[in-house]
Structure 1
Amino acid sequence: MPIWKRNLLVCWFGLFVAGIGMSQIAPVLPLYIQHLGVHNSSSIAQLSGIAFGVTYIISAIFSPIWGHIADKYGRKPMILRASLGMALVIGCMGFAPNVYVLIGLRLLQGAITGYSTACTALIATQTDKEHAGYALGTLSTGNIAGSLLGPIIGGLIEENLGFQPVFFITGALLLIAFILTALFVKESYVRQNKKADNLKKIWESVPEKNLTIILLVTFFVLTLGLYSIEPIVTVYVTQLTKGTAHVALLAGLAFSASGLANIIAAPRLGKLSDKIGAHKVIIFALVVAGIIYIPQAFVKNPWQLIGLRFLLGLAMAGLNPSVNTLVKKITPDSLTGGVFGFTMSAGYLGVFGGSVIGGQVAGHLGIQYVFFITSTLLLINAIWVYFKVYRVICLKEKSPI
């Protein structure tokens, strides 16, 4: 097996588990906080929001920093650091004596992030150009699938085994990812001895700043769109079922449908981007995703919602790998980790922003408006990408627009 494929398999498993580790606490968090001694419903809601959101906010801050360190010392050491650190921290959450220790551990989890950044930079720099889109497309399914399936997995573990095993099992899986990385991941890397630059100097060294900013915003918008339904999916399914049984199961299916579709489509669309160009896949996927959001506001039953969420996942699957492929194309290898760190920060902010905006819009305007606003954002982003990315790249390639 080629080295890049072996690296890809190990990193995919690690990203899948890391995605679970970041998101599995969502369905059990209020119950766990109550288990830790907080019984006031208002306090539980407030503390749950803080405990869930703090990890993503801190991750957004630290991701570029760890990405820059990966550029200087190598991506494999950063993968090992992050996987071992997350294994220990998430495992310790099962022993939290009170909610404040739990929040502190969630904050620490965000601070030791960098796993996704290092894995993406490793695959981007160690994979040949002909297979870059396919490799990055396959890699993207790991984190997305883990993030989307994490709440369901966490809920199932809690229901059958209790609160603490949620954290112990996730920590054990991350420890396995650490061991697999140590044994099987190979990196051809020459350590840089020059003095490390700060993030501001790294950004000043980026050759295509305008295009990079557009790609970062695009990554933020697509992640925001993917997670905007997270806080409202159960409520929406409850409305659609009119109080019938199996609401939790149908809500779980609606939530995970896009993740399943992403797993199926991302490698294929990544391979397609290798053939026809990532900029073409991005513009097509943005338009299709923006359109698919609209009928979700008018569904009459949960199965229609599940079907549309699956179609949405197929479209969104083309965005993540294509954005990463373009980032790789316009970024020197010496800056790849730092720039992918900024990309991951945009993604973490999108997860947090999507969860917050989805809940706020649904509460003030109604659930249907979550889909309308998300669709509008994606279509506006598509127009921006068309004029600032698609046309520019087509002109550079001297291709007909």
Structure 2
Amino acid sequence: MNKIKGSIFFSVFVAMLGLMLIAPITPSLIRELGLREIHSGILISVGSIMTAVMAPVWGNISDAKGRKPVILIGFIGMSISTLLLTVTFYCGLHQWLSGGLLLFFMIVTRSLVGMFIPAVLSSSQAYMGDVTEEKERGSGIAIISAANGLGLILGPAIAGVFTLFGLLWPLYFGIGIATVAFIVNLLLMPADKPAMTRGSIKVSPFQPGLRNYLFVALVTMIGIVTIQVIGGFYLQDQLNLASEKLAGVVSLGLMLSGTAMLTAQYVQAKWLKWEPRPMILLGSLILVASMLLFLLTSYLPFYYSAFFVFGLGSGLMMTGFMTGASLSVRNEQQGGVAGLVAAMQGISAIIAPILSIVLYQANRYSPMIMIAILTALLGAVIFARFRKRPGHNASDRTEGREIHPGTEVRGRS
């Protein structure tokens, strides 16, 4: 069991690392290639769109074919697609490709990266659902959330270190680490049997129980992406920071958020072991408190506190919606539900940057107010359902899991 959980943690960490290695260097590469800022936005968007589209597909494939084969395919695809993206950038920097042709190959290769990363994320979350009993599902999902958080923290830091050698060096590292992950999982991850049996049905995002957790996922990830997008602008405008100091301040703030996410997820996995709804309820209250800190203070130490508190709240909410979604479906639907959760993350990465920038241009405080209102409403709904259904623990496990004729419901050892 520890070998499986270790393999899952490493897989999710490497997938998130591969995603975060690309984002920090894209604007610099765009300018070096003589392209416009909008092209950077296009590259980020196409990657997110492919993640949103392909995550449910990979999840369903893992239900039918098994988790390990899809994870291995994901890492092969990550290695090859990142290599192709690197070659494209290399050709552009040496002026072997330019103009529309260069942009075309950049979009295609970036789309491929976005296509294969969710294969790892969806299948890993589904595998954790397979190997954990319902009472320990929250602890198992917290391991995945911690791997997500660690990738979010270390990805930009590693990219920054490797750019000292050259703009493409973070991508070289990404190719290498994905290859290492493929070898490690090939040798160490236990083989598993397909979960889908004859008579099984694919999971629907609208089925009772699950749809609530997918909505929590969307709101939580919109909040996380919004802070990543406009946090720097907000601090600079609020504190009149010089541009050369801004990057360091924002990086420290985001690292504090990532550290807090890891802390919350470790405490949940080790000691709390709460059911999904209490996690989401407490996380939403903490997240609203962080928005109030952002809005009401004007001193840098308090902004750092806001980043940390934001990480605590979002960490609990992330573990809560992943756990709740996993518990709301049958064993043979774990891949499908993991894909839908990953798709919510992809959708948030598409809409949040545009929405947050538009709101920020209208009023600098409005993105934080939006997050606070959405999260408060979400917390109110969860609280109402919590009080209405005192037996919420059982409902989390059974809601939306009707037994259909001819369907074999089984677990895994």
TM norm structure 2: 0.85
**1:103 aligned partner, one-letter code:** I
Determine if contact 1:214/1:385 at 8 Å carries over to the other structure.
Answer: no
Cα 1:215/1:114, change in 2 over 3 Å: same
Q: Counterpart of 1:179 in 2: which secondary structure?
A: helix
Cα 1:187/1:283, change in 2 over 3 Å: farther
Q: Which residue of 1 aligns with 2:161?
A: 156
User: How far, CA to CA, are the matches of 2:157 and 2:105 in structure 1?
Assistant: 24
Q: Counterpart of 1:210 in 2: which secondary structure?
A: coil
Q: Does 1:101 align with 2:105?
A: yes
Q: Deviations over 1:319-346 (max 9, x none)?
A: 2222222222221111110111111111
- Which ranges of structure 2 fall in alignment gaps of 5 or more residues? 92-101, 396-413
User: How far, CA to CA, are the matches of 1:127 and 1:47 in structure 2?
Assistant: 43
Q: Does 1:304 align with 2:308?
A: no
Cα 1:299/1:191, change in 2 over 3 Å: closer
User: How far, CA to CA, are the matches of 1:136 and 1:92 in structure 2?
Assistant: 33
Q: Which residue of 2 aligns with 1:81?
A: 73
Aligned length: 381
TM-fit CA distance, 1:265: 1.7
TM-fit CA distance, 1:130: 4.1
TM-fit CA distance, 1:139: 1.3
5 Å-filtered alignment, 1:167-206, equals 167-190=171-194, 194=198, 202-203=202-203
TM-fit CA distance, 1:191: 6.6
User: How far, CA to CA, are the matches of 2:37 and 2:387 in structure 1?
Assistant: 44
User: How far, CA to CA, are the matches of 1:140 and 1:13 in structure 2?
Assistant: 12
Pick aligned residue for 1:394 from 375, 391, 396: 391
Cα 1:376/1:191, change in 2 over 3 Å: closer
Q: Counterpart of 1:252 in 2: which secondary structure?
A: helix
5 Å-filtered alignment, 1:2-401, equals 3=1, 5-38=2-35, 44-96=36-88, 97=91, 98-112=102-116, 113-158=118-163, 160-190=164-194, 194=198, 202-203=202-203, 209-244=207-242, 246-271=245-270, 274=273, 276-366=274-364, 368-388=365-385, 391-392=388-389, 394=391
Q: Counterpart of 2:87 in 1: which secondary structure?
A: coil
User: How far, CA to CA, are the matches of 1:393 and 1:211 in structure 2?
Assistant: 15
TM-fit CA distance, 1:393: 5.5
TM-fit CA distance, 1:376: 0.5
User: How far, CA to CA, are the matches of 1:141 and 1:395 in structure 2?
Assistant: 25
TM-fit CA distance, 1:227: 1.4
Q: Deviations over 1:136-165 (max 9, x none)?
A: 10211212331354334323322x011111
Q: Counterpart of 2:267 in 1: which secondary structure?
A: helix
Q: Counterpart of 1:64 in 2: which secondary structure?
A: helix
User: How far, CA to CA, are the matches of 2:196 and 2:131 in structure 1?
Assistant: 17
User: How far, CA to CA, are the matches of 2:358 and 2:16 in structure 1?
Assistant: 25
Cα 1:227/1:111, change in 2 over 3 Å: same
TM norm structure 1: 0.88
Determine if contact 1:273/1:280 at 8 Å carries over to the other structure.
Answer: no
Identity of aligned residues (%): 19
TM-fit CA distance, 1:318: 1.3
User: How far, CA to CA, are the matches of 2:48 and 2:390 in structure 1?
Assistant: 33
Cα 1:229/1:193, change in 2 over 3 Å: closer
Cα 1:333/1:393, change in 2 over 3 Å: farther
- Which ranges of structure 1 fall in alignment gaps of 5 or more residues? 39-43
Determine if contact 1:126/1:187 at 8 Å carries over to the other structure.
Answer: no
Cα 1:27/1:329, change in 2 over 3 Å: closer
